[in-house]
């Protein structure tokens, strides 16, 4: 073969490389730095030795760069595999899962039945679990083991009214008592019991598996929706369930907030500076929530004017929903059945859990149908004891059954208006959300209550919350960049701090005074941080965190709400901190609270703060200290803090500002004082030295200012320059006079928390629950793997038995071979029926491998014969085209020939060898019987085609980048001089006397042009200077453009 190492006309394709490699939606790493450009000739390639030395020196550097790029590429590609985030809209009856991943913006996940909505059902048996639609169907066969609507038990103690209500609605479930946490759990069997948090963890893990299958990658980050009326205990229970499932919860978002966000995101252009008040009425299966939201654009520090939604008012009814309507219908149908079979020795249907489960499913279908029809026939085949049930139900009967429920529809509207301090005239539109709002009577009563012309139905009632939650997940994730949309959620239940201290009302008479300070007010925004300062304590003390005024809740809601006391905080180490700093002034005990994005309250830390005035002594500072201060100031840092004293850092006073949307003034420190008459604490930073030079700590004026001299604090910034008046720097005596500054000491206080509402699950119990869920998941995966292996074995047996009777398989096999295979298949089928249920996954896979090995020869012969026509046709076509190409290449004149003789000979050799191989192999194959292994193999045909195609493609690429060769010089070695006025080298030249007319004009020798270019490269071009213009005029006309280009 010819040489192929070069580039261009004689070396094949030039080497090119991409300028950048895209790694992720927003990351790009440059591969090859661009060569620096300049207006002067460079020394690239001027000396081969220098060039070689430079290349040798750059090789280690380039290798290091390539290694670094490879590491970054691997890290970023690994990161891109986990870019997806998900949201779970966790409803009472069903859930919706949505994902966002690169290339898939905000998509609802389809479950295994290709449905967008998945029932929140879990069926637990001793050796298997079912979820979703499979569990819903199992609710009829095994209602005791099928758990549903368990979210109503989250964060509830055993004496909560909702626990008794759940037991009344679903008497088939056995609820056990947990004495440690005073909660309940499901007793499925004597050996199997699960808590509501564990069941929710299973559901969340199942939702993640659906999302991962849909996204085709692992997902850990999620945003989960919760009802707006969930209190602290209920929210912590959801977080614990997510932790059991191994999910990283970016945020617990209220479902009404998620719905409002989805509505605003898709109507961003309609939002302006004018406030728009929208009411969302969400009636789901288990509860009803009414929300008033204000949309308008606001100015943000980061992104300028951006749309914002603010929750202004919230009203709710915990038990008003579609489930209660279905339960009413179920009881009505049960009464009709008992009435129809009265006196026929048929048991009461309400005593049969399976029959009641069937009636509840029929009630759900009946409610949906009656929303569009005036009447419908309810019918269940084999309801109980093989007795069928059939009865007609009208919409009027349904509305009479639920009359008291429809009367409660306006309640959440009034609560939302009261909490927002608004009236209906300020509401621009009322939008329906949730499946139960499709009931006509609900819409009728609601329309009358709000006094509008119509109700808004321009939102997807089922998927709006899931879409809003996944948008928030993308916004919180660092992997995506979304358009900002400011969300200001509201606190439903106020939280306050209570503490007691001794006061001396009269001389010698001390009494206890109980104090309350509101920490987070009702309808105040969150997330938010606040600090409360206790100024009158110098010893260890306790304070309490409780809910505030819950007067807006009714008596029944208060019983369902649970404990109104959250936490008792016991502080330890307050007295020791005062003993540690006896000469410092106490600034109080500061407790830092955080109400995070999920609406969960936490106490970050408690500190004892002290301050004192200290005077710096510059002359005592060492040279290293001054150098450190200078370097720190150069890199944006301030003065170095004082040395640590007894392990306590001296820090500047921290300003705890409220989160965006706080009712406090912007920039104001949110600090709750123990007493109203206590003076406001000065939290401003010390003024810069330039401003402190006016007065000393005692209020006296500095002498340097009267003389126009600068203080010591100005010298580092001025670096020895004269002052504004040109006065020299201050003397050494002036350096020592420096105003005092505040030194702040912060001592961490020990905190002991006593949870009063609902104790969290202990860490050891939480670890056991996580391990239990992991074991169940592994068991499910093993069960799925075994089922898959059994199905594969069974399918292979049936398919192969059918193939043995097809002509194409009989043609390539003998009768004895088919009988042997058929016998093995029959034996495997019998084994699978008799012993397959107890066989392990390994045994099933081994049996399948054995059968495939037996049938491999038969299948191989059939597949090869199927591939022959297509492969041979392609080989013939390639041979014909290659021969035509070679024939055309040899016809190229020698003057224009771009291929070498070696290259053309190589191609001819490959063509001949391929023809010979094809003819010989086909002749040999024709002699073999069809039942033998073929010698003509499709892989060999493909290999021959690839070898031939590689040779042809090489020559084609060489021709593509080839340049025409220069014409040879004239025999006498002269060239025609162009006329003086010639402006183009392509003009026709008159031949000299005695030369033929059709002779080609003699071109200008290239060596003249090459010499000029070498000279231009060797000598730097001098622009301007004496004689430059005259030298340019002496240059030939044809070289003027190149000189002008160099000038440019």
Q: Comparing 97-106, 334-343, 975-984, which segment has the lowest mean pLDDT?
A: 975-984
Assigned token pair, 331: 């009881």
Render pLDDT for 791-806 as a digit per residue (tens, 0 to 9).
Answer: 999 999 999 999 999 9
Higher pLDDT, 350 or 622: 350
pLDDT digits (tens, 9 = 90+) for 834-872: 888 888 999 999 999 999 999 999 999 999 999 999 999
pLDDT in tens, 305-333: 999 999 999 999 999 999 999 999 999 99
State residue 646's pLDDT score: 33
Q: Look at the block and give the residue holding tokens 């095994």.
A: 142
Q: List beta partners, residue 288.
A: 283, 317
Name 141's Cβ contacts closer than 8 Å, sequence gap at least 6: 354
Structure tokens at 706: 């009267």
Peptide bond into 527 cis (omega under 30): yes
Measured between alpha carbons, how far is 933 from 564 in angstroms, rounded to an integer?
83
Alpha-helical runs (H) found in 812-900 = 815-835, 841-890
- For the sheet with 542-547, list strands across it: 509-520, 495-506, 542-547, 565-572, 750-755
pLDDT in tens, 404-452: 999 999 999 999 999 999 999 999 999 999 989 999 999 999 999 998 8
3-class SS letters over 480-530: CCCCCCEEEEECCCCEEEEEEEEEEEECCEEEEEEEEEEEECCCCEECEEE
Q: Is 695 left (phi over 0), alpha (psi -120 to 50) or beta?
A: beta
pLDDT at 1019: 39
CA atoms within 13 A on the CB side of 170: 23
Dihedral of CA 611/615/620/621: which sign?
positive
Query: Which residue carries 């002594």 as its tokens?
Result: 617
DSSP label at residue 377? E
d(CA 777, CA 247): 14
Helix (H) or strand (E) segment spanning residue 379: strand 375-384
The DSSP string of 590-631 is EEEEEE-TTS-EEEEEEEEEEEEEE---GGG--HHHHHHHHH
pLDDT tens by residue, 35-83: 333 333 333 333 334 434 443 444 455 556 566 665 555 554 444 456 8
What pLDDT, on a 0 to 100 scale, did the predictor assign at position 614?
Answer: 78
Q: E-assigned strands of 737-778?
A: 741-748, 750-755
Nearest Cα residue to 1037 out of 988, 991, 979: 979
As a whole number of angstroms, the distance between CA 931 and CA 801 comes to 18
Q: Are 220 and 247 in contact (CB under 8 A)?
A: yes
- How does residue 625 score in pLDDT terms, banded at 50, 70 and 90? low
What is the distance between the terminal CA atoms of the chain, rounded to a whole angstrom? 46
Cα dist from 748 to 98, 265, 372, 541, 757, whole Å: 43, 44, 65, 15, 27
Tell me how far apart the alpha carbons of residues 467 and 105 are, in angstroms, rounded to a whole number. 10
How do beta strands 509-520 and 585-595 pair? unpaired
As given in the structure block, the two tokens for residue 264 are: 């605003």
The answer to whether residues 240 and 766 touch, using CB atoms and an 8 Å cutoff, is yes
Instruction: Please compute the mean of the pLDDT values over residues 555-577 and round it to a whole number.
Output: 91
What are the start-end ranges of the H helices in 143-251? 161-169, 196-215, 232-244
What does the pLDDT read at residue 1034?
41
Please list, in sequence order, all residues whose beta carbon lies within 8 angstroms of the beta carbon of residue 757, skipping any fewer than 6 positions away. 231, 232, 233, 562, 563, 565, 566, 567
Distances (CA, A) of 439 to 316, 374, 393, 429, 678: 18, 12, 15, 20, 58
Give the model's confidence band at 672: pLDDT under 50 very low, under 70 low, under 90 confident, else very high: low
| Token duo for residue 511 | 């009494």
Three-state DSSP class for 707? coil
C-alpha 783/C-alpha 521 separation (Å) is 52
Q: Is the per-residue pLDDT at 880 higher than 70?
A: yes
> Residue 739 in contact with residue 617, Cβ under 8 Å?
no
Nearest one of 322, 356, 361, 383 to 137, comparing CA atoms: 361
Mean of pLDDT over the chain: 78
Whether the Cβ atoms of residue 660 and residue 520 lie closer than 8 Å to each other: no
| pLDDT tens by residue, 581-620 | 888 888 999 999 999 999 999 999 999 999 888 776 554 5
CA dist list (Å): 295 to 256, 270, 299, 415: 14, 10, 13, 20
Cβ atoms of 261 and 311 within 8 Å: the answer is no
pLDDT at 638 over 60: no
Bridge-based pairing of strands 750-755 and 671-673 is unpaired
Q: Over pLDDT 90: what percentage of the chain?
A: 54
Determine if residue 822 is left, alpha or beta; phi over 0 gives left, psi from -120 to 50 gives alpha, anything else beta. Answer: alpha
For residues 738 and 780, which has the higher predicted lDDT (pLDDT)?
A: 780
Cα–Cα dist 776/840, whole Å? 18
What phi and psi values does residue 717 have, to the nearest 5 degrees? -75, -35
Whether residue 292 contacts residue 279, with contact meaning beta carbons closer than 8 Å, is answered with: yes
């Amino acid at each position: 073969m010819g040489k192929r190492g070069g580039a261009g006309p004689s070396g094949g394709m030039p080497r090119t490389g991409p300028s950048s490699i895209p790694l992720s939606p927003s990351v790009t790493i440059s591969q090859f730095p661009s060569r620096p450009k300049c207006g002067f000739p460079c020394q690239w390639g001027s000396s081969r030795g220098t060039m070689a030395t430079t290349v040798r020196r750059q090789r280690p550097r380039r290798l290091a760069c390539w290694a670094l790029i490879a590491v970054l590429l691997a890290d970023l590609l690994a990161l891109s595999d986990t870019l997806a985030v998900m949201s779970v809209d966790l409803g009472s009856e069903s859930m919706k899962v949505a994902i966002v991943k690169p290339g898939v913006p905000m998509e609802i996940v389809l479950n295994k039945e290709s449905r967008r909505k998945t029932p929140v059902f879990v069926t637990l048996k001793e050796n298997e679990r079912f979820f979703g639609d499979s569990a819903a169907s199992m609710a009829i066969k095994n209602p005791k083991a099928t758990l549903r609507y368990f979210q109503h038990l989250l964060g509830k103690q055993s004496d909560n009214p909702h626990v008794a209500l759940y037991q009344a609605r679903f008497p088939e479930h056995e609820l056990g008592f947990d004495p440690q946490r005073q909660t309940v759990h499901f007793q499925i069997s004597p050996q199997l019991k699960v808590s509501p948090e564990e069941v929710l963890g299973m559901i969340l893990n199942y939702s993640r598996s659906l999302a991962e299958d849909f996204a085709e990658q692992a997902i850990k980050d999620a945003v989960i929706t919760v009802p707006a009326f969930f209190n602290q205990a209920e929210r912590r229970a959801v977080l614990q369930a997510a932790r059991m499932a191994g999910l990283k919860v970016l945020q617990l978002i209220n479902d009404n907030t998620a719905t409002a966000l989805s509505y605003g995101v898709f109507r961003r252009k309609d939002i302006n500076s004018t406030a728009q008040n929208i009411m969302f009425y969400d009636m789901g299966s288990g509860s009803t929530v009414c929300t008033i939201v204000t949309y308008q654009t606001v100015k943000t520090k980061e992104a300028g004017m951006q749309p914002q939604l603010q929750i202004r008012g919230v009203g709710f009814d915990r038990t008003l929903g579609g489930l209660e309507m279905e339960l009413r219908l179920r009881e009505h149908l049960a009464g009709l059945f008992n009435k129809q079979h009265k006196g026929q020795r048929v048991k009461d249907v309400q005593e049969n859990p399976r029959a009641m489960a069937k009636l509840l499913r029929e009630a759900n279908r009946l409610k949906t149908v009656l929303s569009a029809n005036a009447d419908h026939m309810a019918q269940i085949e084999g309801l109980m004891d093989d007795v069928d049930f059939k009865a007609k139900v009208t919409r009027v009967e349904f509305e009479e059954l639920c009359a008291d429920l429809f009367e409660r529809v306006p309640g959440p509207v009034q609560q939302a208006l009261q909490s927002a301090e608004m009236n209906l005239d300020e509401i621009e539109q009322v939008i329906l959300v949730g499946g139960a709002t499709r009931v006509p009577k609900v819409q009728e009563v609601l329309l009358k209550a709000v006094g509008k012309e119509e109700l808004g139905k321009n939102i997807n009632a089922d998927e709006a919350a899931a879409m809003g939650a996944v948008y928030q997940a993308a916004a919180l994730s660092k992997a995506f960049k979304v358009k900002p949309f400011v969300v200001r959620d509201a606190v439903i239940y106020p939280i306050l701090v209570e503490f007691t201290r001794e006061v001396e009302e009269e001389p010698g008479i001390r009494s206890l005074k109980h104090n309350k300070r509101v920490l987070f007010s009702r309808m105040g925004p969150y997330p938010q941080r606040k600090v409360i300062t206790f100024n009158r304590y110098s010893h260890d003390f306790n304070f309490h965190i409780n809910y505030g005024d819950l007067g807006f809740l009714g008596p029944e809601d208060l019983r369902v709400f649970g404990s109104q006391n959250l936490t008792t905080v016991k502080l330890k180490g307050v007295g020791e901190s005062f003993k540690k700093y006896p000469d410092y002034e106490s600034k109080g005990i500061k407790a830092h609270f955080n109400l995070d994005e999920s609406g969960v309250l936490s106490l970050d830390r408690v500190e004892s703060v002290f301050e004192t005035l200290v005077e710096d002594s510059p002359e005592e500072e060492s040279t290293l200290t001054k150098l450190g201060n200078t370097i720190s100031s150069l890199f944006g840092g301030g003065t170095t803090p004082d040395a640590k004293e007894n392990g306590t850092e001296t820090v500047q006073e921290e300003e705890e500002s409220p989160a965006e949307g706080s009712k406090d003034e912007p920039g104001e420190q949110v600090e709750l004082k123990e007493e109203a008459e206590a003076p406001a604490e000065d939290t401003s930073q010390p003024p810069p030295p330039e401003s402190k030079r006016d007065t000393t700590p005692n209020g006296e004026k500095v002498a340097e200012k009267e003389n126009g001299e600068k203080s010591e604090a100005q010298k580092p910034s001025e670096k020895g320059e004269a002052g504004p008046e040109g006065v020299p720097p201050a003397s050494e005596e002036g350096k020592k006079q420096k105003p005092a500054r505040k030194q702040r000491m912060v001592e961490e206080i020990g905190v002991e928390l006593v949870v009063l509402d609902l104790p969290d699950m202990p860490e050891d119990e939480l670890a056991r629950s996580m391990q239990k869920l992991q074991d169940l998941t592994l068991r499910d995966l093993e069960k799925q793997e075994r089922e898959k292996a059994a199905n594969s074995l069974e399918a292979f047996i049936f398919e192969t038995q059918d193939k043995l009777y097809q002509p194409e398989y009989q043609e390539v096999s003998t009768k004895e071979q088919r009988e042997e295979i058929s016998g093995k298949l029959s034996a495997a089928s019998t084994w699978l029926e008799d012993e397959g249920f107890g066989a392990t996954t390994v045994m099933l896979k081994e049996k399948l491998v054995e059968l495939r090995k037996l049938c491999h020869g038969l299948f191989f012969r059939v597949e090869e014969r199927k591939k022959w026509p297509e492969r041979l046709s392609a080989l013939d076509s390639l041979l014909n085209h290659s021969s035509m190409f070679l024939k055309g290449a040899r016809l190229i004149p020698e003057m224009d020939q771009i291929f070498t003789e070696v290259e053309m000979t190589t191609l001819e050799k490959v063509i001949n060898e391929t023809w010979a191989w094809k003819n010989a192999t086909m002749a040999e194959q024709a002699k073999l019987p069809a039942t033998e292994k073929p010698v003509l193999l499709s892989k060999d045909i493909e290999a021959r085609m690839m070898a031939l195609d590689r040779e042809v493609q090489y020559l084609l690429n060489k021709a593509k980048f080839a340049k025409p060769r220069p014409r040879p010089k004239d025999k006498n070695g002269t060239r025609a001089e162009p006329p003086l006025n010639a402006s183009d080298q392509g003009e026709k030249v008159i031949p000299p006397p005695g030369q033929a007319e059709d002779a080609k004009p003699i071109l200008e020798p290239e060596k003249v042009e090459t010499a000029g270019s070498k000279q231009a490269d060797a000598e730097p071009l001098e622009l301007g200077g004496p004689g430059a213009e005259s030298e340019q005029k002496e240059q030939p006309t044809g070289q003027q453009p190149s000189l002008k280009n160099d000038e440019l």
